[in-house]
Amino acid sequence: MSEQNLVARPITCDSKTNLYPFFESCLKEVTDSKRKKFASVTFETNYSDPLAILEKIHSPSRPICYYEKPMDEFSIACGEAVSLEKFNGSDRFSKAKTWAKNLFSRTLVAGNHKVEGSGPTIFLNATFEESSKDDSYPSLQTFLPRWQILRKCGSHLITINSEVFSNSSPETLAKKTSALLHKLTGVRDQSPIENPPVKVKLSDPIEENDYELSVEKALNAIDNGNISKIVLARKLSYRTDRQIPYFSIAHTLRNKFPDCYTFCISTPDNNMFIGATPEILSRVSGTSLITEAVAGTAPRGPSADKDAHLGKRLLGSNKEVHEHRLVIDSILRRLSSCGVTDCREGQTRLLRLANLQHARTPIYGKLADNIHPFDTLSALHPTPAMGGSPREKALPLVKEIEKFNRGWYSGIAGWLDSRGRGEFMVPIRCGKISPNKLTLFSGAGIVNGSISSKEKAETDLKLQAMLNVITGRSDLSSQ
């Protein structure tokens, strides 16, 4: 690289960096290629809390994403869209892969983006179903944000993205970028938003179906040998006495469930999809891939001895071990089918959350050069932990029994940066917040030996996380 290009594309950037030469070089590339480009500048900054900044500057009409896992010291938020696309159908991940490759190839980068989740990063949401007719839940939505804020261990970075056209002004681009940076960093100096804790009152829930009857239908299909496992969801709708403060809910969730990924994602109809999920679909970095099987559930105990007993029983239960093994074997098969090599499973351990504990097994693999992260998403989604096994028989039965579309619940949410690093989670333990309305989702895996009343009780436990944070109560009835 020439000395001139090193000057034009600074390796590190802060608020004092002169960005005019960089944008001038971007404009030259647009002129030479006769194609629009994207410019991405990453700034190093001091301490920032992505959620706090998002709460201050959020505009309801603009898309946002927020993900945080306190245990990993990772938090990222982004907003607005420089480029946004939606895909539908069985080839949605293939189309998204083509779009992502094209976008990254046309993006010019300045600043330090060595930390995962920095530099140009696209954010993705996908429904459980491969096709969607609901505009509020696109089958697959990807976008490059106007801005993103990252906190990873000791690094604090802000990335600002811009479109560069043949008639763009380098001076204007530089000024707008600096102004947005000043807006994002200036939030720290403003007085905090006064949001006193308010517990929302809910109506009695309206449920889409009789869950215990649904479980009995599933057990009949298992007894007939059609399937070995199926996951059935519940959908409960409540009327609320006021607007639920979703950023305050996210703040409480991240503090209560540090082992989970707290997420807050705007929907195209300007509502908010929010929750705290314990399940990662895949984590990629270069040729390394990590996924996990999370299946089998038990409550937490009131004492250390009782808690340990419940955990030991979970890991030794024939029914739970069988359910967990189905998920592991299916994931290993699917990874191998899409070209992932060196697949192996790690040690099964307990994942202990505030109100539940699960059996969790990490699974590792190696990506070949021709395998894109979106190829693995297509192969893995939905895992038996969300749909069932065998997939081709379980998924039609899920639709037949549940009789509602799950949308983004048990779908995919995550991000991928231009260096091939990314993380994708499965949105569960969550709900959709609308004006004066709350919709909650929960599910359980049904296998041979399942008892309908116990499966419903398990879903009640899972619903408690959101209910307790929103209302201060854990039962499903109205106040």
β-bridge mates for residue 431, sequence order: 274, 440
Q: Are 144 and 120 in contact (CB under 8 A)?
A: yes
Residues 124, 117: Cα–Cα separation, whole Å: 13
Of 139, 138, 121, 122, which is closest to residue 130 (Cα–Cα)? 139
Count CB-CB contacts under 10 A for residue 363: 21
Q: Is residue 229 among the annotated active site residues?
A: yes
Q: Are 120 and 419 in contact (CB under 8 A)?
A: no
Residues 308, 434: Cα–Cα separation, whole Å: 39
Query: Exposed/middle/buried for 147, CB within 10 Å: 0-12, 13-18, 19+?
Result: buried
Residue 240: DSSP 8-state: B
Identify the active-site residue in 55, 129, 279, 292: 279
Q: Is residue 279 among the annotated active site residues?
A: yes
Identify the active-site residue in 37, 69, 97, 229: 229
Residues 385-397 as b/e (b if ≥16 CB within 10 A, e otherwise) read bbbbbebeebbeb
Query: Exposed/middle/buried for 49, CB within 10 Å: 0-12, 13-18, 19+?
Result: middle
Cβ within 8 Å of residue 284, ≥6 positions away:
290, 367, 373, 376, 416, 420, 421, 422, 423
Q: Return the structure tokens found at 137.
A: 């839940």
Q: Which residues are catalytic?
A: 229, 279
